[in-house]
Amino acid sequence: MKFRGKVAKGLLILFDKELFNIQLKAFEGKHVDFTVKLPEKRSSNQQRKWLFGVAYKIISEETGMTTEEVHACEPVAKLRMDYTKKFPTPMSVAMMGMNTKEFNDYKFKLQQWGAEQGWNIPDPNEVDL
């Protein structure tokens, strides 16, 4: 289980307390570990806009696949493997779980793979989003 919240006046305030309590019932009667830490910076909407609107669009135009098919195709999915194996969810949802560093590593791998195919996938700062 992973939930977000904030600490106010020494108390933990969960953003989705109802869902937390529902999932907590699965641990009834068991000993558990609980960790509180600062949240990781998540990939931004701008990063996802670049991914689907620039990188996947270029690959789509070169291969004839849709951007959704590009996202799901084996070579591209393998590039995400290190980041998405921790999420037992479909790849499109799992990508949202990448933090900024993981997303940037994935972007670099995607650009390298594209270059191997003869495609130029520009950096986000080289295009208008």
Please choose, from the candidates 76, 88, 81, the residue with its C-alpha nearest in 3D space to the C-alpha of residue 52.
76
End-to-end CA distance of the chain: 34
Residue spans per domain, the chain:
1-39, 45-126
Nearest-angstrom CA–CA distance, 114 and 65: 15
What pLDDT does 96 receive?
52
Beta strands in the chain (DSSP E): 5-8, 11-14
Taking the model in full, what pTM does it have?
0.59
What pLDDT does 19 receive?
86
In degrees, rounded to 5, the angle at the alpha carbon of residue 53 between the alpha carbons of residues 51 and 58 is: 85
Nearest-angstrom CA–CA distance, 112 and 106: 10
pLDDT digit string (tens) for the chain, length 129 residues: 778 889 999 999 998 888 888 888 999 999 999 888 887 666 677 888 899 999 999 999 999 999 888 888 888 877 776 655 544 444 444 455 677 888 888 899 999 999 999 999 999 889 887
